[in-house]
Structure 1
Amino acid sequence: MEGLNPEILKEICLVKMPFGKYEGTILADLPISYLEWFNRSGMPKGKLGMQLSTVYEIKLNGLTDLLIPIKASVRNERLKKGV
């Protein structure tokens, strides 16, 4: 998990799953079982696959606490914008 890009961490706390069982769920909030399934079956291509792989690695390695301040920051930005 070396060299985590802060922009990617922010994205996974903002972007919602675009399809499937957890459509509309923020990527960082997806259950590990769902991410494990993708890991076994093959991650989607492109940016979404990279984002899901990042969330998977964070959860697999017990690093979800890294996301707490980022989620708070994202939430505060949305409140300021009235979203």
Structure 2
Amino acid sequence: MPTLTLITFPEPSEPAVDAAEAEVRARYVADYLADVRRGDVIAKDWTLYEIEMYDAANPDLPPLMDEIRGLHLPAAA
């Protein structure tokens, strides 16, 4: 009776998923910065809420909220 051997390899979709994930994160940052620039407090709070939900749904990724908080820190010289 013949036997089959499973040969594993990385999913071809992994780079596409990584690119989509980076695009989502960049869009949240862009939306937040646009809300701040416009002075739209309600939109800013809604974007922050969405970012919190995104972080909760993606615990294996670095928290996006940390990046948002880091936008307001002075740059190191």
Range into which the TM-score falls when normalised by the shorter chain: 0.3 to 0.5
> How does the TM-score come out when normalised to structure 1?
0.33
Larger Rg computed on CA atoms: 2
Higher relative contact order (CA 8 A, sep 6+): 1
